[in-house]
Each structure stands twice: as C-alpha cells, then as structure tokens.
Amino acid sequence: MRPVQRELIEWWSREGRDLPWRRSRDPWAVLVSELMLQQTQVSRVTERYVRFLERFPTVVECAAAPVGDVIDEWAGLGYNRRAVHLHRTAVRCVEHHDGALPDTLTELLDLPGVGPYTARAVLVFAHERDIGLVDTNAGRFVARALAGRPLPAKEAQAVADAAVPGGWGWTWGQAVFDLGASVCRKRAPRCGDCPIRLHCAWATAGFRTPDPIDGSAGISARQSRFDGSDRQGRGRLVDAMRAGPVEHDALAAVMGWPDDQARAARVAAGLVADGLAVVERDRYRLP
C-alpha cells in the first residue's frame, strides 16, 4: 500500500463506526441501507434499518408485499419515493433476475432508483469489488485530499478508482466514508485530527481558497427551504395516509394549507403519479 492508503486504513481500524449494515454482505441488505442513507442522518437509519429488514428480509418478500406496506415501513425516513423505488427494484429482480440483485454495474443501473453511486456501493459493500465511490462524504475526500481541486464526475470517479488498494475495496470504502463524516466535514473540517493530512493535496497547498469541494462531483447542493414547501405537504399527506384514507376535501388541511385547495390537489396528483398514493372513491390512500 501507499502511505496514504495504509495510514487511512489503520486509522479506520481504530476509529471506524460500528454500524449494523457493515455486518452484512447481503446485496439486498446493502441496497436497503444505501437507499435509506440518501439524504438521511445515520442516526435515523440505524434505528430503522434492522426493523425494515425484519419485515422485508429478502427481495422476494419485499416484491410480494403491497407497495403501500413498504411505504408504511418507511415512516420517519423521509423522501418516501425511495420506498417506491425499492419495491419496484424488488419486483424487477423477481421478474428478471430470479429474485436476486444482479452483480454487474450495467444491470444494477437498470434498476429503478439506482444511480451510479448506489450501483457501485452494492458492488463494493456486498461483493467487495475494488471500486472507488463518490458521494457527499467520499466526494470531499476525493476533491480535497486526492486532487486538491474541484473535479467533474468522470474524473472524480477515475481518481476514486485509482486510490483503492487492491483487495481492500470494502475496507477502503468504509474508511473513506468515516473520514468524510467525522473529519473531512463540509463545514469546519477537523484537519488537525486528519490521519492523512501529510498526504492531503489541499493541505500541502496551504488550504487555498476556494475549498476544492465547491462545485466538485458528488457534493450535495444546499436544499431549498423545507417549511411551507411542497415537499412538506407531500410528507404530511403520506403520513396521514399511513393512518388511513384521506378524503379529497381534507387534503388542504392535512397538508397544512387550509386556504389553498388548488395547491393541495396539485401536490396530491404528484403523489399519485409517483406511485405513492391512489385515488379511490374520492379518497386518497397508500397503494
């Protein structure tokens, strides 16, 4: 190993987080964790991951359940469309892959809601492939430590791939994630505690501004305001439907816009189009 590889892995062996999804190499369990972790705090996922897999332990059992049951179990995780994608992926795997997740990048990318990062994460964390990952946490490591400058997506992936020590793909991926989560943070990075500071391209260049993560691949953009947004109204309606059907006339009140029936109807129609709701006798319910 190169020094940066050895020192990061040694640091992770001491400081790595004990997370439940790291105890499994089951591709389905890995996919569940990756979809849950998209834009959701690790602490919230930790509470829900085991319970979800107890209810839907396999691709086949998830595919056999109504999608509404999967949405119901997703409560508290946000971005409910991910639950629909997960169910559609399970159905696709039953229909085309004998009830198992495929193990090639091309086939994984063909699954509903599975993008370039998620597909590679399944290959790394389920199959231990030596592939680099570029998401928000890993993207900071790639831009700051490896390149010292912002990178477009294709170059960022190539740089990440080249950094993986042969035969250590799984461990390297976890180490990079934990470094990004606890040390190489977006705001106020803890560079004084970084185990690879001596090898960091940004540090050796004197921490020049702007920060290399600005505009670099994989770095999540700032979210729009949630309070009062359509996203908030969608979430409120889905939460209400988990308790039972919602009458059309109650939509606006349930979503928090009692004086805007037109907006409520528009947002509810979007939920129907996304597979998160169905209309039955002028009532909205989970599918």
Query: What CATH number did the domain enclosing 196 receive?
Result: 1.10.1670.10
The residues pairing with 247 across neighbouring beta strands, listed in sequence order, are 283
Note the pLDDT tens digit of each residue in 130-160. Answer: 999 999 999 999 999 999 999 999 999 999 9
- Tell me, yes or no, whether 31 and 78 share the same domain: yes
**Domain termination residue (choose one: 96, 127, 158):** 127
**Domain termination residue (choose one: 222, 240, 266):** 222
Q: What order of strands is seen across the sheet that includes strand 246-247?
A: 246-247, 283-285, 278-280
Domain-located, residue 21: no
Note the pLDDT tens digit of each residue in 227-241. Answer: 889 999 999 999 999
Contacts with 3 (C-beta within 8 Å, 6 or more apart), sequence order: 199
pLDDT at 271 over 90: yes
Domain-located, residue 52: yes
- Tell me, yes or no, whether 136 and 122 share the same domain: no
Q: What is the CATH number of the domain that holds 66?
A: 1.10.340.30
- Tell me, yes or no, whether 9 and 136 share the same domain: yes
pLDDT at 12 over 70: yes
Residue 95 a catalytic site member: no
- Which entry of 7, 34, 107, 247 is annotated as an active-site residue? 34
- Tell me, yes or no, whether 154 and 177 share the same domain: yes
Distance of alpha carbon 88 from alpha carbon 111, whole angstroms: 8
At 226, the pLDDT band (50, 70, 90 cuts) reads: confident
Domain of residue 107 covers 26-127
**Domain termination residue (choose one: 86, 107, 127):** 127
- Tell me, yes or no, whether 115 and 33 share the same domain: yes
- Tell me, yes or no, whether 86 and 152 share the same domain: no
pLDDT at 1 over 90: no
Note the pLDDT tens digit of each residue in 36-69. Answer: 999 899 999 998 999 999 999 999 999 999 999 9
- Tell me, yes or no, whether 9 and 37 share the same domain: no
> DSSP letter string over 74-139?
TTTSS-THHHHHHHHHHHHHHHHSTTS---SHHHHHTSTT--HHHHHHHHHHHH-------SHHHH
How many domains, in total, are found in the chain?
Answer: 3
Tokens of 136: 């928000």
- Model-level pTM greater than 0.75? yes
Domain-located, residue 145: yes
pLDDT at 221 (0 to 100): 65
Domain-located, residue 169: yes
The mean pLDDT of 231-260, rounded to a whole number, is 96
Distance of alpha carbon 75 from alpha carbon 121, whole angstroms: 24
- Tell me, yes or no, whether 7 and 141 share the same domain: yes
The residues pairing with 246 across neighbouring beta strands, listed in sequence order, are 284
109, 89, 107: which is closest to 99 by C-alpha?
89
pLDDT at 155 (0 to 100): 97
The mean pLDDT of 169-180, rounded to a whole number, is 97
> What Å distances lie between residue 112 and 25, 86, 103, 108, 239, CA to CA?
21, 7, 15, 9, 23
Percent of the chain with pLDDT over 90: 94
- Tell me, yes or no, whether 244 and 174 share the same domain: no
At 222, the pLDDT band (50, 70, 90 cuts) reads: low
- Tell me, yes or no, whether 207 and 123 share the same domain: no
- Tell me, yes or no, whether 201 and 270 share the same domain: no
Note the pLDDT tens digit of each residue in 71-130. Answer: 999 999 989 999 999 999 999 999 999 999 999 999 999 999 999 999 999 999 999 999
- Tell me, yes or no, whether 116 and 143 share the same domain: no
